[in-house]
Structure 1
Amino acid sequence: MAQQVIALLPMVFLAMLSQCSPQLTPRISFPKGSPGRPLVHFYRPDICNTTTLLLSEDEDTLFVGARNAVLSLDVSQREAIVIRSKLDWSPSEKDLEQCSMKGKDMVDCPNFIRVLQFLNTTHMYACGTYAFSPRCSYLWGFDYGLQHTEELLMASHGSKPEEGRGRCPYDPYQRNTAITVDGELYTATVADYRGNRPVISRHLSEGSHVDLKLDDTLGWLEDPTFISSCFVPSEEKIYFFFSEVGREYDFIDKFVVSRVAQICTSDVGGQRTLQRRWTTFAKAHLLCQASSELPYNVVQDVIALPPPEGAPADDTLFYGIFTSQWSVNSGQSAVCAFRLRDIKETFSRNYKILNRDTLRWSTRVQEKIANPGECGLHNASDNTLRFVKENFLADDSVQPVGRSLTMVSQDQNYSHLAAQRVRAANHKDYTILFLLTESGYLHKAVLLEKGAHIIEEVQVFQQPQAVKNMQLSVSKGVVFVGTSEGVVRVPVANCSFYPSCAQCVLARDPFCGWEHAAQACVQTSLARTGLGQDVDGGDVEEACNATTPLSPRARFGPTNLTTGQTVSVTLNKVVRLRCPVTSRHARRHWERPDGRLISPDLYLQLEDGSLRFVVTLPSLGPYLCLSTENGYRQTLAAYHIEQKTAAPFLTPATSATSASATTLPAATSVGAWPKTSAEAEPRPDATSVSGTVSPPLTTEPGAMNSAAVWPRDSASRGGGERLLLAHSPSYLKELVVVSVLLALCVSALLTAALYGVRQRCRKRTAPQAGGPPGLGEREALRGEPSPRFNGKRSNGHAVLNGQANGQANGQACNTTPKGSNGHLPNTPI
């Protein structure tokens, strides 16, 4: 155990020090319902959970296992999916009541079809959860030959469907896998209500074959989650892929590992030892790991890709989706490829030894009596079968192709995948992966020598789904995705979407190539020669015979600006020029005739690539939105901004009022644009560059203090404001008038203030009227009001009693003035 801990420590340290892998971003994204990526959707309100798919040999009929029903869909038409027949298969009311009494939710008690396999050309075999009591039945009513009926029928051997224990899971959310070979059904599922007895078994055996099973009584499976199965005719073996708890790593609690197991279809069990049990069962560890990270140890889906024509069967590849049990890995999901040759070599080497008393694994050297997993051991001796019974775990792990990850996604959790090999225009084969994400998108990726390239992503359903399935039809060139929302048909190629040779080549899609004669992007399968295509490098100049990109002066020449959108705007208005998105991998920027923008203080480029600025005299003229992708530069949109014609003649007062209301509106809050806006309509004869219509251009009233256009930094703003004021309409007359009025107001206020101060000083030295000397002081000490004030104020100033009385009587104060000491002012006592 100490050696295993020491061996695992470098992996932990490397994972902590690992650098993030480059993020894989789809080049183009198509939301659901996008006209650029039309899909065919089959949906009916009475049909739900269409998640089990089975495609006929001629690929014209798609059989679907749904909730309480089995469907037959006609998929031979390109633009529609038509239902041929529907077989209802619902539990009875008594079965639903018993399911509810078991403590299950009623939404989980219907019959969810989880097994749908062909037995021969006339019969299918279907199994469903059937209210947590699995049932199976034979179906017929179809024929691959000339005969065909429009109705599916159920043909049971007895009065009711067969019990599906060990063939179908009880819970509709449990994973399972099933495959038929020569009329026999091979399944991997759980065989009890609680889901604690995993089993790999064979059913419907005839002749010398007997039904076999591999249950958990011998510790062969440790809480597995079955994923998929595949039959390899050259080996006469079936390979099962699943994840389980790795008991060999006993120093880590519940350490999950991914497995590949094999059994031989010719196995009939032992004569005395391992009777009705598998004698050819063996399993190995699938290792999906980068050199600097912990392994992606939980397998999600595995599919087989046959070798190219003429290649040996050992070149068969198994592509799998893996996730990590830890959060230190750089990605959410990883794709690894395993070669059949490597799997066979792993099973042919040494095996670990299981101690039945302690249930611990050891790797001590022992004499190898037999080779576990070898076909034909049913006639072996009891000693050999006991050796096979205790040695079924391979000592080595199956390494991925190239001992590296095929691709890693940092922000997506992939759930299902399909693979196809495509021959490009250069007669080179490329592998295309179709990856279904938990967020509802289908990613289309091509595997290149430098790494994976995601060509596009297509949204196929709105909400994340727990149970999904995917079926690839190579002859039809479509991918069928089964969800709870119905069945979606997604074409594998979308070549007509690319309007130019540059866009067709930059897509780097092996399905598509540019035909120079027809000036269209077409599919390479149409056997056209001389198509423009470069999947590996995406070199537009070579594939399209394009010239070197023009210089900025040449791009703005009179011969290169004959097309574009002309917009007439008034000065001091905020204008927004939009730039279309053709690729997420492209970098967009704007140019003026001098090859660059005037100043970042005057122009604001938003995250969506659009350009916003305040229209001034220097900002009039042409604008180009350019994109640079893979070293190739192209024009996405062209605009020409011009000033509107003069307004009708107005009186000076009306003109000043109008200018202040429209040209210079009140400033809005910081970072917020005014709600009022006017759309500047393009001229009827103006179109955008590259044959596409440019998006509408928006003009908005400019807010001079808005932080979205003018930065608050005075140092960076000064140049822009001076440039704007230098070319803006003059308001000198208004400024002079306001300045004169302001000066008059200030002078009047100063005069009034000086007059008030002078009067206050004279009142302090003037004689006081009424009352004997010192009366005010005595009353102040007593806390009484002084008789010199009547408690009233006039315009904020105290009014003397004597003055008030004298003015009221119309008399002047002619008495001899006295000071506070009873003597003349400024006369010493």
Structure 2
Amino acid sequence: MALPTLGLDPGSILGLLLIQLLLLLPPEATTTMTMTGTGGQEPIPRVKYHIGDARRALSFFHQEGLQDFDILLLSGDGDTLYVGAREAILALDIRDPGVLRLRNMIHWPASNQKKSECAFKMRSNETQCFNFIRVLVSFNATHLYACGTFAFSPACTFIELQDSNLLPISEDKVVEGKGQSPFDPAHKHTAVLVDGTLYSGTMNNFLGNEPILLRTLGPQPVLKTDTFLRWLRYDASFVAAIPSTQVVYFFFEETAIEFDFFEKLHTSRVARVCKDDVGGEKLLQKKWTTFLKAQLLCAQPGQLPFNVIRHAVLLPADPPAVARVYAVFTSQWQVGGTRSSAVCAFSLRDFEQVFKGKYKELNKETSRWTTYRGPTITPRPGSCSMGPPSDKALTFMKDHFLMDEQVVGTPVLVKSGVEYTQLAVETAQGLEGREHLVMYLGTASGALHKAVVSEDNGAHLVEEIQLLPGQEPVRNLHLDASQGAVFVGSSAGVWRIPRANCSVYESCVDCILARDPHCAWDPQTQVCRFLSAPNLSSWKQDMERGNPGWACANGTRGRSYRPQSRPQIIKEVLAVPNSILELPCPHLSALASYHWSHRPATIQETSTTVYNGSLLLMPRDGIGGLYQCVATENGFSYPVVSYWVDSQDQPLALDPELTGIPRERVKVPLTRVNGGAALADQRSYWPHFLAVTVLLALVLSGALIVLLASPLGALRARGKVQGCETLPTRKKDPLSSREQHLQPHKEARTSARNVDADNNHLGPEVA
């Protein structure tokens, strides 16, 4: 691109030079006239928020001296959130949508004796030897049941409630919690209370190599898995427990035992135990007699499976048999140096069919797991039936606890570069009457994603909220539909996040393109509102297509919905000679592409460039007029912002087509390049200019060094060769030897004169 200089003063030339140098910056800093926001088919968050962003109202609770707010429990009336933290349990009043208030708090620290024993066993007295609350469930209307690590000596207790307040814990009510809470706070665990009975999955010893499924409390006998039979691998890691009609499902991850072609292959499992299991009379006494497990498979066709499960939740349905389980998976293998995640859906019917299918058995001769093809035993081993099973069935169960078939899930969301850790799901009914799956996903980097899954168009990410700095993970999620909020537990505190942010969409176009089933456009009030009822016929929403041209076709006064159409408001900007104007373009969506247009003529590339989305404009003849930043998303184009640039020396006549449009005089960032007073809110581009100048100087210096390196190398080689031919090979004293070493360098310096401009050696006569 040539730099025109005719008719320009030195200041204008310097300004144009600055624009030319900005074009040399890397693509991260400077873009072309068209800025694309999307790439590829993978969903990306349409809008991103950070902590402190006024567009996304959040509530945060923290308590000085407390940390590790890991366990969340909602009260039956929905007014109180109980939180299990490190050595404390809190009751938070959540009735006020904007504030989380502390109702009361009780401390439950580990005893000094237990802390001393913990430190003696080579555990950290600063990070591990505390009582981390790991189980917090509602036992009945008047009591909670809680368990903690208790400095690597798990303990449990009942906590009495009085008007939703927590009463202090008596030491005589604390009992051993082995098998209900892990020893190590870093170990994963799960627990669920069903009909007054607690089902837990955790590590059962100090070393953390003895996983166990345990049933305690309630009227039924205590049962656990048999450690000697190795039903669970030593590294089993439990992530969820989900009750069903007759059984309880446990979801966990462990190294595979049935695959011998891959060392330490991780696999995701679902285990099943029957609620009416009473254990064996002679065999498997006080042990599960209905324990079965199967492999969970979450994979895309032709791709490596997502073999590490992180969390699982149940989405209830009517009838219960058609309910679905949604689980978050990551991969053992990193593709391209980054981890990826997937959410898969499983049907409870598929679970039932797999657990009614064939078994696997270990061939002791070949040490391989094969399909069991022996005779059928009646009643079926592992089935849920009243009364203790026969000894024959129990003998069979000892070795046939692994199912032959896999439970195959359907991927509903796949995202690379993100490691999801927590999941909460719900359904939302749109204006068209269809149910849409809404997922809230916590990440290992402290962010929260809101995803919507449609039947026809797959999944899309509505927003991303960065809650925590750095690599602090989201530790727990709890969705409260009655409060319309998602509660997030972290190491520092508890967040309350409204599940929808409709008010941020200031126009019908934005509201429709967001494709949030919780939001719809109200034409009467010209506001994007929370959809409280699906029968509002006058409201606008298009979840399937996201087409504002159709949904906003009835004369809304929001941002224009016709491509390249008449602006709704024009921002007037006064161009100052010998200056550079910056016209900002707000990026409302990461899914849109942006470009600038100019009326009445096209944009002159010699006087403009795009820097970080803003148009940098060098005022000159013919540069005035209407400038619009146009966004294109989902095949629909609309102006994001419109500027009318006018010159104080030569005012431009008003375009008749723009008559009647409201105008607003604004001051944009301005850089003066040749004296004079700048605007009050100017922003200097001299740091950018100096940085570009330094970079340009380094590039030119590097090129000059490369050009000079070749002739200098040839001269040194010629000098060394000449020195070897003239120096005699005789022994000298040290002083003479020094002169011998200096002689070739001297010849090399003098021989440099014997080279012409084309790097050709000249004879002595020519030299």
TM-score in terms of structure 2 length: 0.78
For 1:417, the equivalent position in structure 2 comes to: 423
Alignment partner of 2:489 out of 459, 477, 482:
482
For 1:367, the equivalent position in structure 2 comes to: 375
Structure 1 residues 354, 624: closer, same or farther in 2, change over 3 A? same
Task: Determine if contact 1:300/1:416 at 8 Å carries over to the other structure.
Answer: yes
Alignment partner of 1:269 out of 258, 279, 293:
279
> For residues 100 and 701 of structure 1, what CA distance do their matches in structure 2 show?
58
Confirm whether residue 77 of structure 1 aligns to residue 96 of structure 2. yes
Task: Determine if contact 2:562/2:637 at 8 Å carries over to the other structure.
Answer: no
- Give the C-alpha shift of residue 356 in structure 1: 6.6
Q: Secondary structure at the match of 1:108?
A: coil
Q: Secondary structure at the match of 2:398?
A: helix
Confirm whether residue 49 of structure 1 aligns to residue 51 of structure 2. no
Alignment-mate amino acid for residue 195 of structure 1 = G
Alignment-mate amino acid for residue 169 of structure 2 = M
Moved over 6 A (4+): 701-708
Confirm whether residue 68 of structure 1 aligns to residue 77 of structure 2. no
Alignment-mate amino acid for residue 186 of structure 1 = Y
| Equivalent runs, 1:463-542 vs 2, <5 Å | 463-465=470-472, 468-526=475-533, 528-542=536-550
Alignment-mate amino acid for residue 431 of structure 1 = L
> For residues 648 and 464 of structure 2, what CA distance do their matches in structure 1 show?
43
> For residues 703 and 644 of structure 1, what CA distance do their matches in structure 2 show?
27
Confirm whether residue 615 of structure 1 aligns to residue 634 of structure 2. no
- Give the C-alpha shift of residue 563 in structure 1: 3.4
- Give the C-alpha shift of residue 367 in structure 1: 1.5
> For residues 600 and 203 of structure 2, what CA distance do their matches in structure 1 show?
72
For 1:565, the equivalent position in structure 2 comes to: 571
Alignment partner of 1:602 out of 607, 613, 632:
607
For 1:658, the equivalent position in structure 2 comes to: none
* Number of equivalent positions: 627
- The Cα RMSD (Å) is 2.7
Structure 1 residues 324, 150: closer, same or farther in 2, change over 3 A? closer
Q: For residues 688-724 of structure 1, what are the alpha-carbon distances to aligned partners after superposition, in whole Å with 9 as ceiling and x for unaligned?
A: xxxxxxxxx857589999979xx99xxxxxxxxxxxx
Alignment partner of 1:99 out of 109, 115, 118:
118
Q: Secondary structure at the match of 1:388?
A: helix
Q: For residues 489-526 of structure 1, what are the alpha-carbon distances to aligned partners after superposition, in whole Å with 9 as ceiling and x for unaligned?
A: 00101111111111111100000101111211111114
Q: Secondary structure at the match of 2:414?
A: strand
Alignment-mate amino acid for residue 132 of structure 1 = F
Structure 1 residues 376, 591: closer, same or farther in 2, change over 3 A? same
| Equivalent runs, 1:707-722 vs 2, <5 Å | none
Task: Determine if contact 1:662/1:701 at 8 Å carries over to the other structure.
Answer: no
Alignment-mate amino acid for residue 192 of structure 1 = N
Confirm whether residue 202 of structure 1 aligns to residue 212 of structure 2. no
Confirm whether residue 166 of structure 1 aligns to residue 186 of structure 2. no
| Equivalent runs, 1:70-219 vs 2, <5 Å | 70-106=89-125, 107-142=127-162, 148=163, 150-154=165-169, 159=172, 161-206=174-219, 209-219=220-230
Structure 1 residues 54, 247: closer, same or farther in 2, change over 3 A? same
For 1:652, the equivalent position in structure 2 comes to: none
Confirm whether residue 337 of structure 1 aligns to residue 345 of structure 2. yes
Alignment-mate amino acid for residue 400 of structure 1 = G
Structure 1 residues 467, 565: closer, same or farther in 2, change over 3 A? closer
5+ residue gaps, structure 1, are 1-19, 143-147, 647-660, 666-675, 682-696, 713-829
For 2:236, the equivalent position in structure 1 comes to: 224
> For residues 678 and 218 of structure 1, what CA distance do their matches in structure 2 show?
82
TM-score in terms of structure 1 length: 0.72
- Give the C-alpha shift of residue 620 in structure 1: 2.1
Q: For residues 324-343 of structure 1, what are the alpha-carbon distances to aligned partners after superposition, in whole Å with 9 as ceiling and x for unaligned?
A: 11124896111111011111
> For residues 272 and 445 of structure 2, what CA distance do their matches in structure 1 show?
33
Task: Determine if contact 1:678/1:698 at 8 Å carries over to the other structure.
Answer: no
Alignment partner of 2:257 out of 238, 247, 262:
247
> For residues 132 and 472 of structure 1, what CA distance do their matches in structure 2 show?
31
- Give the C-alpha shift of residue 440 in structure 1: 1.3
- Give the C-alpha shift of residue 618 in structure 1: 2.0
> For residues 512 and 342 of structure 2, what CA distance do their matches in structure 1 show?
27
Identity of aligned residues (%): 36
For 2:400, the equivalent position in structure 1 comes to: 391
| Equivalent runs, 1:542-691 vs 2, <5 Å | 542-545=550-553, 555=565, 560=566, 563-594=569-600, 596-599=602-605, 601-606=606-611, 608-645=612-649, 664=674, 678-679=678-679
> For residues 563 and 293 of structure 2, what CA distance do their matches in structure 1 show?
63
Task: Determine if contact 1:128/1:135 at 8 Å carries over to the other structure.
Answer: yes
Task: Determine if contact 1:679/1:699 at 8 Å carries over to the other structure.
Answer: no
Confirm whether residue 323 of structure 1 aligns to residue 330 of structure 2. yes
Q: Secondary structure at the match of 1:217?
A: coil
Alignment-mate amino acid for residue 229 of structure 2 = L
Task: Determine if contact 1:513/1:521 at 8 Å carries over to the other structure.
Answer: yes
> For residues 376 and 57 of structure 2, what CA distance do their matches in structure 1 show?
60
> For residues 51 and 453 of structure 1, what CA distance do their matches in structure 2 show?
28
Structure 1 residues 551, 181: closer, same or farther in 2, change over 3 A? closer
Task: Determine if contact 1:282/1:372 at 8 Å carries over to the other structure.
Answer: no
> For residues 458 and 388 of structure 2, what CA distance do their matches in structure 1 show?
48
Q: Secondary structure at the match of 1:216?
A: coil
For 1:671, the equivalent position in structure 2 comes to: none
Structure 1 residues 703, 304: closer, same or farther in 2, change over 3 A? closer
Task: Determine if contact 2:549/2:561 at 8 Å carries over to the other structure.
Answer: no
> For residues 596 and 458 of structure 1, what CA distance do their matches in structure 2 show?
39
- Give the C-alpha shift of residue 630 in structure 1: 1.2
Structure 1 residues 82, 703: closer, same or farther in 2, change over 3 A? closer
> For residues 677 and 264 of structure 1, what CA distance do their matches in structure 2 show?
82
Alignment-mate amino acid for residue 153 of structure 1 = P
Q: Secondary structure at the match of 1:111?
A: coil
For 1:791, the equivalent position in structure 2 comes to: none
Task: Determine if contact 1:569/1:699 at 8 Å carries over to the other structure.
Answer: no
> For residues 590 and 25 of structure 1, what CA distance do their matches in structure 2 show?
24
Higher relative contact order (CA 8 A, sep 6+): 2
Alignment partner of 2:357 out of 338, 349, 354:
349
Q: Secondary structure at the match of 1:541?
A: helix
Alignment-mate amino acid for residue 616 of structure 1 = R
Structure 1 residues 471, 424: closer, same or farther in 2, change over 3 A? same
> For residues 390 and 544 of structure 1, what CA distance do their matches in structure 2 show?
64
Alignment-mate amino acid for residue 644 of structure 1 = Q
Structure 1 residues 663, 466: closer, same or farther in 2, change over 3 A? closer
Alignment-mate amino acid for residue 228 of structure 1 = A
- Give the C-alpha shift of residue 51 in structure 1: 0.8
- Give the C-alpha shift of residue 130 in structure 1: 0.8
Q: Secondary structure at the match of 2:637?
A: strand
Q: Secondary structure at the match of 2:281?
A: coil
- Give the C-alpha shift of residue 360 in structure 1: 3.9
> For residues 429 and 567 of structure 2, what CA distance do their matches in structure 1 show?
40
> For residues 333 and 129 of structure 2, what CA distance do their matches in structure 1 show?
34
Alignment-mate amino acid for residue 483 of structure 1 = S
5+ residue gaps, structure 2, are 1-38, 651-670, 698-767
Task: Determine if contact 2:144/2:161 at 8 Å carries over to the other structure.
Answer: no
For 1:690, the equivalent position in structure 2 comes to: none
Structure 1 residues 640, 618: closer, same or farther in 2, change over 3 A? same
- Give the C-alpha shift of residue 573 in structure 1: 1.9
> For residues 591 and 521 of structure 1, what CA distance do their matches in structure 2 show?
28
